Structure 1
Amino acid sequence: MWSVLWAAVRSKAPYVTFPVAFVVGLVGYHLEWFLRGDPPATEEKSISEQREERRLQEIAGKDLTNVVSLKDKLEFAPRAVLNRNRPEKS
């Protein structure tokens, strides 16, 4: 008799476990909401918004037209790689 009962439970397991899990999740969600109370009314900024604001504050006082020229940047590269085809710099 037990083997027939276990076979029936095994075959109907998804139909039994989903409603049980749904009810447990629903009760847990409402219990947590009840214990914590209402969420705060202030709207918090996301991490990406905070990052963008921080970047804007960092560049607020800088002169963005003062950039390093490409010729000066090439001097910081290894000489063996970039000066191979540049006979005027060798």
Structure 2
Amino acid sequence: MWPVIFAAIRTYLPYVTFPVAVVIGCVGYNLEWLVRGDRQQPYEERGIPERREERLLQELAARGGDGTQELKLHTLRS
């Protein structure tokens, strides 16, 4: 009798586990939404490369350096 029961479980297990996993996922998603609240991150208009270039230009302007000159390694350490 046990081999018949195990064969039936092995055969129909995917049909049972998928709906259970969907229900658990939906419950977890909604619980997380309730805990975190409706705090969405603001939309960034500029991408990371644009923000990095702007920051590097600001650092260069703050140092008073000339952007056309090469920086030497010993000047960067100070």
Q: Report the counterpart of residue 20 of structure 1 in structure 2.
A: 20
Instruction: Give % identity.
Output: 52
Runs of 4+ in structure 1 over 3 Å off: none
**What residue is the counterpart of 1:49 in the other structure?**
48
Report how far residue 44 of structure 1 moved.
6.7
Change over 3 Å in CA distance of 1:7–1:60 after alignment to 2: farther
How many residues are treated as equivalent by the alignment? Answer: 65
Q: What TM-score, normalized by structure 1, do the two folds share?
A: 0.54
Indicate the RMSD between aligned Cα atoms, in angstroms: 2.7
User: 1: distance between equivalents of 2:43 and 2:61?
Assistant: 23
Query: Higher helix fraction: Structure 1 or Structure 2?
Result: 2
- Which of structures 1 and 2 has the bigger CA Rg? 1
How has the CA–CA distance of structure 1 residues 22 and 56 changed in structure 2, closer, same or farther, with 3 Å as cutoff? farther
Residue type matched to 1:19 in 2? P
Deviations 1:36-79 (A, max 9, x none): 21114x5175xx728614333323343111237xxxxxxxxxxx
Q: 2:76 maps to which residue?
A: none
Separation (CA, whole Å) in 2 of partners of 1:55 and 1:18? 51
Structure 1: which 5+ runs fail to align?
69-90
